[in-house]
Amino acid sequence: MGQTLGSGHTFHSLLRQRQHITRVVTDKMTPRGALQISRSAVPVFDGAGRFAGYRGTARDVTAHIAAERQTHAQARLLAKLSSQVPGVIFQFRHFADNTIHSLYASDACREMFGLEPPSEGQVGDPTAVCRAIHPEDQPSAQQSLIDAARSLSPWHREFRLLHPERAERWLEVRAMPEAHPNGGVVWHGFAADVTARKETELALRRSEQRWNMAAAGAGIGIAHLDVGTGLMTLDAIAAANHGLAYPIAPFPVDQWFATIVEADQDATRAVIAKAMASRSMIETRARVMRPDGSRPTLEILAHCTYNSAGDVNGILGTCRDVTHQEVHEQLRRDKESAERASRAKTEFLSRVSHELRTPLNGILGFAQLMALDRAQPLANEQARRLDSVLHAGRHLLALIDDVLNLARIEQEDFALQQSPVDLMASTTLCMGLIRPMADDAGVRLVAPATGPLWSKADARAVEQVIINLLSNAIKYNRPDGEVVVALTGDALQVQLTVTDQGDGLSEEQQTQLFQPFNRLGAEQRRVEGTGLGLVIARALASAMGGRLTVRSQVGVGSSFSLSLPVGAPATPLAPAALSAEVPIAAASRSRKRVLYIEDEPLNQLLMQELFKARPQWELDVAPDGTSGLARIASETFDLVLIDMNLPDMSGLSLIKALRNDAHTAPLHCIALSADAMQSQIEAAMAAGYNAYWTKPIHVARVLEDLEKVLG
């Protein structure tokens, strides 16, 4: 091997060392400057081995040395620059057999790959880097590198990287190939960690996928209008909403306006023009005409887009088929409107009932007092006239009650208590009540010959239905006719049938039988009625889980049948329970005091006249709630009768005040009102009233009830 010496050395040392080749580099100053000279010499010896001299060459290596210095300087500069770049600068040689030798990698290799970068002049092995690529991405990354090497085209790839100490990362690699003179390709490239960007892209893609799924599920299409070109673009869902095949080329906006139903075109144009002028949102609905003839309603939500100068350059929005929703909304509005109308009707009927019952209370009340007056009895002719007044008043009251019952049924404002009901016992009771009417009409009642027959129903409702069927059978019977009541049953249901011998009903009349106020011409024969009884009876039967049916033949008569679910016999009460009676009011004094809180003078006078029939009762009157509460606080009463509509407070407020006071809470209180609505009655009982009496009063019944309360 040779030895490098400076210019101040001699050749004698070489001679003594007997070196075969010697390289000497010296500097020589010339007019052009310093030169780097490389000298090579070989010692020459004679045949006897004696030194004979030197034979050698010298050449100028200034440019070569300068190039090496420049290369090292560039390498140092590259190292400094790469330390400031957020990524790996690399250089590797790719051979024809697909082996790879690393030539250079910046220090960021340590952070990115967990590998030490090769030192200067070291040939690295990049296979460790290749192994760090995610197994799913390795085949495509390697194949794309091979393809780019063959065509000497730039290589750009993104793939996942499995860092030994960090989570999965995304890497973006860009490299430029250069053919090596000794074979293979030298790649000069850059690798950057793009995990954050990739995660954002993936999140956006997932968000877009979710949006697309949601939009498809909700039928939301996207449309865009280019103001400059006047062309409309629809996506697949928007095209489907318009009944158009997709894909569809952009088309003029006027063509889109032409698809809108003519009645909606002007409004739609006005909304869009206003939004563009005011730069506001577009929210509208319009019907479109599809090619198949259908006219769905589309909900359009859009906003303006702007160019760099801030001018409107387009409209971007969504369209959704809301035809079914609009139908549902219309149904909801119709339902709410019907409910409001029903509530208004109920309130109106309640008010009318109250206003009619108030004067009727005076008419019927005083007429009953006159009929019951034994001290000053009326003459026979006057008594007959008074009976006419009572009859007309009761007929008017029945009409009012029927109208209210119908309103209750329509609103389901009635409460039924399902319990065991003996139809035989109910029929016997009702026939006893209706017998005077049958006797006056000359009609015979034929009772069923059977024992107890139990149903599951509401006792009061059953009696109301039976009374209605019996009264109709009497009213529409022939002279000297019969009304036959029959009871039958099986394992599932029991049935009560009322058959008359009247004119019967045609098939057409039977179809109209259960229409409110339709009396089928009976009003022309002066037959009393309102045309509501059977309507109410059928509704009550249905509410009890039963049904009311009719069979009729013209000239023969009609049969009405009430079918109800079968019920178990009721458990009889124990003898002690039957005989036990709890006194409602304590009889601590012989004279009983009653306070009547009522603002209507006529009602006050009627009650005062009624109390004259019982000298042992003392009646005091308070005209409003405030004075009534003051009297109760300062005096002692056995009973308080309270009108529900007082000028200064309601009966509900008054009873709450009494029940909240420990001294007045035990006081027996009865509501006395012309409001006969079930909801009002239930509210009063829930507030704390002991009973609820409706006006107009039945004098004999009120006296009887007062006897029970006062003792």
pLDDT digits (tens, 9 = 90+) for 53-101: 777 777 776 776 776 676 566 656 666 665 566 778 888 888 877 777 7
Q: Which residue has the tokens 């409209």?
A: 315
CB count, 10 Å around CB of 274? 11
Taking 80 as the threshold, does the pLDDT of residue 619 lie above it? yes
Nearest to 242 by CA among 270, 267, 223, 269: 223
Q: Which ranges in the chain are annotated with CATH 3.30.450.20? A: 84-199, 219-321
- Indicate the helix (H) or strand (E) that contains 508: helix 507-511
Domain 585-710, second-level architecture: 3-Layer(aba) Sandwich (3.40)
- Report the CATH fold assignment for 219-321: Beta-Lactamase (3.30.450)
The mean per-residue pLDDT over the stretch 319-324 comes to: 89
Taking 60 as the threshold, does the pLDDT of residue 121 lie above it? no
Which residue type, as a one-letter code, is found at position 169? R
Q: Which ranges in the chain are annotated with CATH 3.40.50.2300? A: 585-710
CA 256 to chain centre: 34
Q: Which ranges in the chain are annotated with CATH 3.30.565.10? A: 417-565
* Strand runs labelled E in 503-637: 547-553, 557-565, 592-597, 617-622
Nearest to 560 by CA among 500, 645, 492, 480: 500
Residue 22 confidence class, pLDDT cut points 50, 70, 90? very low
Taking 80 as the threshold, does the pLDDT of residue 620 lie above it? yes
Taking 60 as the threshold, does the pLDDT of residue 449 lie above it? yes
Check residue 81 and give its pLDDT.
62
Q: Which residue has the tokens 């509005």?
A: 333
Could you give the CA distance from residue 456 to residue 63 in angstroms, rounded to a whole number?
122
CATH class of the domain comprising 417-565: alpha beta
Check residue 97 and give its pLDDT.
77
- What residues contact 660, with CB distance under 8 A and at least 6 apart? none
Q: Which residue has the tokens 């007309």?
A: 392
Nearest to 611 by CA among 695, 530, 689, 706: 706
Share of the chain above pLDDT 90, in %: 27
Domain 84-199, second-level architecture: 2-Layer Sandwich (3.30)
Taking 70 as the threshold, does the pLDDT of residue 148 lie above it? yes
Q: Sort strands 547-553 and 557-565 into parallel, antiparallel or unpaired.
A: antiparallel
- Burial of residue 579, with CB atoms counted within 10 A of its CB: 0-12 exposed, 13-18 middle, 19 or more buried: exposed
Q: Are 487 and 496 in contact (CB under 8 A)?
A: yes
Could you give the CA distance from residue 152 to residue 273 in angstroms, rounded to a whole number?
57
**pTM for the full predicted model:** 0.43
Q: Which two tokens stand for residue 701?
A: 């019944």
Cα separation values, 556 from 177, 474, 551, Å:
113, 15, 11
The mean per-residue pLDDT over the stretch 270-284 comes to: 90
The mean per-residue pLDDT over the stretch 637-649 comes to: 92
Q: Which two tokens stand for residue 493?
A: 């249901």
Of 308-317, 506-515, 564-573, which one has max mean pLDDT? 308-317
Q: Which two tokens stand for residue 633?
A: 């606080």
Cα separation values, 240 from 220, 248, 259, Å:
10, 11, 13
CA angle 194, 197, 202 (to 5 degrees): 115
